[in-house]
A and B are shown apart, each in its own frame.
Chain A
């Protein structure tokens, strides 16, 4: 199946449209089946993927607006492969975990539309098609937050939409400028990323374009000081919305850095390592402190999610194979772990309709299974060795260490601070005596919740112990990317900083 990427994109879309015909009572089964088929298709993609090939595979190319150089151009490489699989997995888990919500049918249709947009973003190799999916992903999410959210859902939904929309429009101007430069050099219009890669931009141009794209991506990540929309969105979104937002939608930003900013503007990226690094550090430390100060469990997870995204950004801007591989692995692990944590908070919210830590205490004795799963995910979030969180965090920081040791040292506090706020959350919620009468009769995890959570636990342990099957394809593509960047870089400083060969394995 050469056109599997198109199938992956349009299967959920068609399923969503057909979903309108499905009766309300059977929509849950329908949603589950569709999401499961999509996930199996994504696994098939992995199976058919050639890990030795570092370039784009399963390429599809259909001209859309040929006079203007817009093509339906898809492809997947090691960098995007696993994010696509994760998007399919998280959607499936999200649908499994859906409890009794109002208008379930609309929710499932929105989730499937969102899945189309998510898969589309990660496999598009044409800037306009990328932008198309990127923007379109806002629409179902707006509906999910705004309709199923909490008290201030309207404010949160609109803020989410406007913030990201504004940032990406500036990015669009940047894209149009690159296309214009390409047209003036090559004579034809093209928005194909692979064509753009060949373009060597003057450094002054690279610099402003870097910031134009940065604005679009940074708001999505979200980087300090553009992060203010995220706590609102998480605070108000329903559980499944938070799960998908944290696990996949935020990754669009960091993926954008890897796919666009680094290979298109290598010199500018190197020149701005320090400012970007400082912003990332502020993200890590500031939001970790804010997380510690929260009273609401979901807000703790939300801020911790931002804090860890800072480590991903650090890894990306390490400009060497170790750091970037680490950051991509961390995107996956962050997706799994923060997704699971939001699910877990959702579990307790379903039972007690509150997320305040002060309302709980001693849950470990009432809900032992819940406490165990929460504990594993918490450890993975902190970055305990042998969990999935450790691998990515270690590689990202190790990569960045080669560039800026002092900043890495500061960045390393993320692990300590993470342990502080996470463990204190765990202590307040799970240990000690059961103080509230309502908490004494709480049910432990039920079958539906276990079905959603156990696969995630398995992945956390499996990839924590043996990450190789995932790391190798990522590493191959990243090395190709980095050596390409090194070749393309114009300034000697940039050439010196962009490292390929010093992967941890070869150093032995």
Chain B
């Protein structure tokens, strides 16, 4: 996909996020929207996956360590064809397979996650499993920047670098906000890049909303041998919905009907602009 196609796709993913969370009347829109471009790049460009065969053995794996942003993952999976987009409105409802946090039984979901700090360890185990079995699939995991306050993240990072897991890419969604406020105010994990460098990762800093930068970063990760890669993706929490951007209040709050209409109008407008850009 070219960048314009990716941007359009990401905008559809964002609409799915807002629609799912609005329908659920609960969930985490802010961090789902900040990571929407990353989800889109992974599922529409980077990863070797097949919606018709979600469990194929040689597929690349993805673990959403920041599992509360399940609406972002589900929307990307639905738009990629793993399950019907209409099902997004069943999110978090009794009887729905779309659980509040990722569950391994959902088509395309490689690991249950949501308790922060745990997903990265599972991803490291998958990457080690590939190495031990001589398989060449790659493993991706997405962490929140607040999540890296969990000690287990650094246990996993130490192990991954020690084992030279160059088939592993750790992405940190650096939107700078966690529930209680700015990560730099609550308990600063900065400098994130220097910390992962100190843990012997190859580190790349990128703009999480720039597909050229994401393309280059994932290519660089693929070319990096002998150590795992960490992509620190500087993002905007709530990206794409004007009143949610950089506003921590939207970490775990669902829009009401009026706010939903406004959010969808914002995203429709972005979509129209992308169409116009395509016509030029």
A binds B: no
